[in-house]
């Protein structure tokens, strides 16, 4: 794909030599675009895409044998790196515009292509590539989150809490706590189907835990972000949080901004 900066690698697909020549001349005046290949027949395009991996196809719609729409179908799922090139359609028939955009094309240029319109279309393609690269990086990071969390746990293992329960001392890891409820001089720690009492007030407990995933949503309740499944409202319109352990937690009026941030 792109090599350094915001340069666009472009493949021209058009069966008309004059149309190809005009696009080449126009692109020669665009420093941020470089032509990596051209094709006179839509049947050549999948192989060219796999070999040259262009960022962008300037694709004629009306071609013999395989037209521009057929090329789109052939490219679906055919890109080796999982990122097919962006498409800008070119055509002498502006009536095709609506149909072209429905395919997901970045832009639609009417022949003869004008320099100003080509510049706008290339800017759109460049912005789309930047957005796609950002999304790819985010997806990669998300795919690695479990491993990153395991690495963090291995480097900095959690200090357990020891809580009294039916005459025994039970070891509880802070990351296991799904919900915290204030109960007088104690807080009730919800861990799966179990509840454990721990002496202390909820504000001080959360401060000591210093866990950004535990969020105060009510003067008497805190929840783990990842345990929130959905929100709703009660009969008076007050917001509620539904947790993965089937608990339904009210949201205090002073914590509405916290809920929105979730």
Dihedral pair phi/psi, residue 118, rounded to 5°: -65, -40
Alpha helix positions (H), 84-200: 97-102, 115-155
Domain span holding position 216: 161-261
Render pLDDT for 33-74 as a digit per residue (tens, 0 to 9): 999 999 998 899 999 999 999 999 999 988 888 888 888 888
pLDDT bucket at 114, cuts 50 / 70 / 90: very high
> Closest Cα partner for 37 from 62, 66, 3, 13?
13
Per the model's pLDDT, the better-predicted residue between 131 and 34 turns out to be: 34
Render pLDDT for 148-207 as a digit per residue (tens, 0 to 9): 556 555 655 667 888 888 888 888 888 889 999 999 889 999 998 889 998 889 999 998
Q: Are residues 134 and 62 in the same domain?
A: yes
Count: domains in the chain: 2
Q: Are residues 80 and 39 in the same domain?
A: yes
User: Is the full-model pTM beyond 0.75?
Assistant: no
Q: Are residues 113 and 180 in the same domain?
A: no
In a domain, 3, yes or no: no
Q: What is the CATH number of the domain that holds 127?
A: 3.40.50.2300
Question: What is d(CA 105, CA 130) in angstroms, rounded to the nearest whole number?
Answer: 16
For the chain, the 3-state helix, strand and coil shares in percent, each to the nearest 5, are 40, 30, 30
pLDDT bucket at 1, cuts 50 / 70 / 90: very low
Q: Are residues 23 and 128 in the same domain?
A: yes
In a domain, 153, yes or no: no
Q: Residue 22: what pLDDT?
A: 95
Q: Are residues 15 and 63 in the same domain?
A: yes
Burial class (CB in 10 A: 0-12, 13-18, 19+), 217: buried
Q: Residue 67: what pLDDT?
A: 84
């Amino acid at each position: 794909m792109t090599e350094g900066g915001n340069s666009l690698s472009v493949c021209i697909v058009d069966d008309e030599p004059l149309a190809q020549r005009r696009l080449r001349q126009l692109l020669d005046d665009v420093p941020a675009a470089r032509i990596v290949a051209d094709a006179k027949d839509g049947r050549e395009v999948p192989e060219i895409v796999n070999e040259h991996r262009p960022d962008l196809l300037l694709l004629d719609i009306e071609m013999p044998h395989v037209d521009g729409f057929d090329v789109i179908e052939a490219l679906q799922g055919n890109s080796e790196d999982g990122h097919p090139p962006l498409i800008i359609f070119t055509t002498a028939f502006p009536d095709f515009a609506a149909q072209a955009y429905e395919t997901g094309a970045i832009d639609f240029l009417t022949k003869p292509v004008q320099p100003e319109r080509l510049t706008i279309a290339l800017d759109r393609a460049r912005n789309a590539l930047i957005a796609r690269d950002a999304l790819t990086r985010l997806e990669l990071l998300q795919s690695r989150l479990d491993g990153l969390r395991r690495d963090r746990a291995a480097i900095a293992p959690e200090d357990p809490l020891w809580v009294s329960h039916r005459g025994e001392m039970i070891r509880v890891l802070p990351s296991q706590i799904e919900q915290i409820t204030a109960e007088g001089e104690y807080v009730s720690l919800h861990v799966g189907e179990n509840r454990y009492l721990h002496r202390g007030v909820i504000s001080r407990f959360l401060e000591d835990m210093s866990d950004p995933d535990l969020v105060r949503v009510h003067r008497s309740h805190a929840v783990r972000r990842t345990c929130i499944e959905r929100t709703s409202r009660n009969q008076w319109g007050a917001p509620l949080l539904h947790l993965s352990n089937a608990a339904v937690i009210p949201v205090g009026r002073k914590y509405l901004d916290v809920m929105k941030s979730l």
